[in-house]
Amino acid sequence: MTSSIEPPRILEARDVSLSFTHGHGGATARAVDGVSLSLAPGRTLALVGESGCGKSTLARILLGLITPDNGQVRLRDTPIDYSTASLKEMRRQVQLVLQDPLGSLNPRHTVYAAVAEGLRIHGGADDESRRVHDALASAGLRPPETFYRRYPRQLSGGQRQRVVIAGALVLQPQVLIADEPVSSLDASVRGEILSLLVSLRQERQLALLLVTHDLGAAWSIADDIAVMYLGRIVETGPTEVVVREPKHPYTRALLAVARASRRIPAELLPGEPPDPTRIPSGCRFHPRCPLLSSGEIDGTPCKEEDPRLRAISVQHSVACHYPE
Amino acid sequence: MSLVSLRNVELAFDSSSGPLHILRGVTLDVQEGEVVGIAGESGCGKTTLASTILRLQPPTARLSGGVMVNGVDVNQMAWGDVRALRWAVGSVVFQGALHSLNPVQTIGQQIMEPMLIHGTQPSPSLARHTAQELLVEVGVPITRFGAYPHQLSGGQRQRVVIAMAMACRPQLVIADEPTTALDVMVQAQVLEVLLNLVRSHNMSMLFISHDLSVLAQVADRIAVMYAGRIIEEGTTSQVLEHPLHPYTRALVDAFPVIGDPRHRFAPASLSGEPPVPGRYGVGCAFAPRCPASEDQCTQAEPTLLGTMDHRVACFVTGGRE
């Protein structure tokens, strides 16, 4: 092991891009457009943005479920070559938790079968029942034996999401990618699942990627934030820094909406969520940018030049010609 | 006189395993020009409660208590009056805009339809004119009048549904999770449109949401429901800033204050699971999950007590901060 100031990276995307084309001769959507990010053990990164910003596509690239057009995904500093063996190793190490637990679980499989499935796919284990038991306990379903024979419909929404998380934990992965893990859950249950994610990151030193539109959830559990807009990361840094001193006007708009109340209504961005088939020239945020529309800035570079993500302090980076 | 006045409303369904008590004595008023928010989790009865106002509860439901709109009990109304009640007195905006719209009719026709059926606009040309005005008011370009629902974005569709709900200039709009399926920024835009319309036409609104941060932006008053009852009610600032009921506190804490260090790495959690809808035992339904529960809580059910500004149904925290 080398010792360096750089945090160790388990999973990393290096300058990945991916486009989708609609049908024959349809418009091409640049869903992910040159993104780099890395996950470290015992740390949580929140990837936040509106629908269509490419955050779920990026998550699927990191899982090896889709192959990027350009760039590399590296697992413990080895590039994934998308061979069967390399993907199998990837799927053992990197696990996914989705939004809707009912959709992730087979209604005709018991809790035990659902959790053991991953083990069986990966060649089985001599101590299967012990590992299922431990995974359920780690996911907060205690005593685990009482859940073995139950079916998804006999569980509450929070319990189902815990079963999904247990199924992800049973292979003892190093990375957990959670795509909107609490969006479909009731308010009183959200906190429980978020607490579980916090404790897993601490106790198992998991690297966690939280994909969400919810800045509140990001503030609750993430060490770092990356804000995504139209296929790019436009701002990234430690959560406290990004929330307290947001530099990108888009980050500020998202924060204002999340904090709005009747006394302090947020100033809203005009227009519909952006369309990845029609990415504006220059800075892709410029047609909706409040700095530009208020005339606070000259704005010529915004219309002409695509700003790159650049560091403004040791850990804080922003892609804006006029970072505040 | 209140526009809507619910008095001790009880609603139950019969099932093979016994009755399901969905609403258990709900009393609530909505004044003219007032926005009342109803908060609560899935299965707490908030949508059922709203449906009783327009007599939309399923025919198999057994209902008792008073549901008065403009002083008239809706369950005693003749059928013709019920028809007038729906759309012309009160209209509904639901969550999924795509399901509220007819896919093979233009949005213009759909906004005109309630006006023509209820005769609030005497001629098709006047209805068309009003529909176009409404479209502009909700912020959809007038060029989209002849468009079909699938040609619009999710946010635009929800705006069209809002225009439909406003078409007959009702006194009351019932908004049932109207922005839940939308993206953060679009959600804020749609809320703004809805609130501006309600205010400019001096309508009342009953706004149902599980999301207290949304209610904080729209409601004058908030009623929090749990297990078929209102467990806390009052002005928005009282309920959100000084919640009394342990359940309300848990709900408030479930939405962290972004930037508050106390909410870092400490997501608020409530033990236990929400109760099975309709099957509630003796005592306070929240007692099994309640961090403040005492012996008396499992023996009797607390009633809603306090002032008009703030009432709570809790033996432990009732009457004190």
pLDDT, tens digit (0-9, with 9 covering 90-100), for A281-321:
999 999 999 999 888 888 899 999 999 999 999 999 999 99
Q: Are B51 and B38 in contact (CB under 8 A)?
A: no
pLDDT recorded at residue A183: 84
Q: pLDDT tens, B263-314?
A: 999 888 788 878 888 989 899 999 999 999 999 999 999 999 999 999 999 9
CB contact under 8 A, A220 and B256: yes
Q: Which residues of B touch A156 (CB under 8 A)?
A: 273-274
DSSP letters, A73-91, are EEETTEE----HHHHHHHH
Strand ranges for A87-243 from DSSP E: 94-97, 175-179, 207-212, 224-229, 232-238
Q: Which residues of B touch A261 (CB under 8 A)?
A: 216-217
Q: Looking at the complex, does the CB of residue B262 fall below 8 Å from at least one CB of chain A?
A: no
CA B99 to chain A, closest CA, distance in angstroms equals 19
A111: burial class by Cβ within 10 Å (0-12, 13-18, 19+)?
buried
CA A123 to chain B, closest CA, distance in angstroms equals 36
3 state SS of B77: coil
**Paired tokens of B121:** 């606009």
Q: Looking at the complex, does the CB of residue A131 fall below 8 Å from at least one CB of chain B?
A: no
CB contact under 8 A, A216 and B186: no
Q: Which residues of A touch B217 (CB under 8 A)?
A: 260-262, 265
Q: Looking at the complex, does the CB of residue B258 fall below 8 Å from at least one CB of chain A?
A: yes
ipTM above 0.95, yes or no: no
pLDDT at B46 > cutoff 80: yes
Measure Cα distances from B57 to A184, B11, B50, B60 in Å. Answer: 26, 9, 9, 8
Q: Which residues of A touch B247 (CB under 8 A)?
A: 188
CA A226 to chain B, closest CA, distance in angstroms equals 16
CATH of domain A11-318: 3.40.50.300
Disruptive mutation site among A219, A242, A254 for chain B (greatest number of B CBs within 10 Å)? A219
Q: Which residues of A touch B46 (CB under 8 A)?
A: none
Q: Are B40 and B210 in contact (CB under 8 A)?
A: yes
Disruptive mutation site among A254, A262, A264, A268 for chain B (greatest number of B CBs within 10 Å)? A262
**Which residue on chain A is closest to B219 by alpha carbon?**
A262
User: CA gyration radius for chain A?
Assistant: 21
**Which of the residue ranges A226-235, B14-23, B85-94, B95-104 would you say has the lowest mean pLDDT?**
B95-104
Entry pTM: 0.89
**Which of the residue ranges A126-135, A261-270, B164-173 would you say has the lowest mean pLDDT?**
A261-270
Q: Which residues of B touch A194 (CB under 8 A)?
A: 267, 269
DSSP letters, A25-56, are T-PEEEEEEEEEEEE-TT-EEEEE--TTSSHH
pLDDT recorded at residue A1: 42
Q: Are B29 and B8 in contact (CB under 8 A)?
A: no
- Give the count of Cβ contacts less than 8 A between chain A and B: 117
pLDDT at B321 > cutoff 80: no
Measure Cα distances from B264 to A55, A176, B88, B128, B260 in Å. Answer: 23, 20, 48, 53, 7
Of residues B210, B254, B264, nearest to A219 (C-beta): B264
Nearest one of B128, B140, B131, B127 to B193, comparing CA atoms: B140
**Between B205 and B119, where is the model more confident?**
B205
CB contact under 8 A, B211 and A187: yes
Q: What is the mean pLDDT of the segment spanning A19-43?
A: 90
**Which residue on chain B is closest to A222 by alpha carbon?**
B265
The region that residue A140 occupies, defined by phi over 0 for left and psi between -120 and 50 for alpha, beta otherwise, is: left
A122: burial class by Cβ within 10 Å (0-12, 13-18, 19+)?
middle
Domain ranges for chain A:
11-318
Q: Looking at the complex, does the CB of residue B155 fall below 8 Å from at least one CB of chain A?
A: yes
Q: Assign domain B4-89+170-312 to its CATH superfamily.
A: P-loop containing nucleotide triphosphate hydrolases (3.40.50.300)
CB contact under 8 A, A215 and B258: yes
Domain ranges for chain B:
4-89+170-312
CA B153 to chain A, closest CA, distance in angstroms equals 8
